[in-house]
Amino acid sequence: MSETRFTDQHEWVRLDGDAATVGITKYAAEALGDVVFVELPATGRNVGAGAEAAVVESVKAASEVYAPVGGEVTEANSGLEAAPSKVNDDPEGEGWFFKLKGVSAAEFAKLMTADAYAEFVKGL
């Protein structure tokens, strides 16, 4: 069974075993506006928790996407290169950015639950 957690930088991570899928939240996608470009990490790259892993550019701004947890990049969502609007259309589904393996359950447990993230966003 998978579980999703969130960061205060508006990334989400869905953990299934020790494999994780990472993207930006609906809140972040709406704040960015129309996404026009994404720069994804290379497969095989190791990223630490909180490290810059990808870039997302919109008509308004460019923003880094940070790794919510550390691990090795096993896949990048190459579909976003041809259709970056998927980030806006389905940010917490088909608009995912990259997948990681070797994720620490302890790092994951430190992130916000969906309820905690919802409360965090209300305060913004």
65-108 per-position pLDDT tens digit? 999 999 999 999 999 999 999 999 999 999 999 999 999 999 99
CB 55 within 8 Å of CB 63: yes
Q: Estimate to the nearest angstrom the gap between the alpha carbon of 58 and the chain centroid.
A: 16
CB 98 within 8 Å of CB 54: yes
Q: Estimate to the nearest angstrom the gap between the alpha carbon of 45 and the chain centroid.
A: 16
Structural domain boundaries enclosing 83: 3-122
Question: How many CA atoms within 13 Å lie on the side-chain side of 61?
Answer: 9
For residue 36, count CB atoms less than 10 angstroms from its CB and return exposed for 0-12, middle for 13-18, buried for 19 or more. middle
pLDDT at 110 over 90: yes
pLDDT band at 37 (very low <50, low <70, confident <90, very high): very high
User: Total structural domains in the chain?
Assistant: 1
The gap between the terminal CA atoms of the chain, to the nearest Å, is 31
CATH number, residue 100? 2.40.50.100
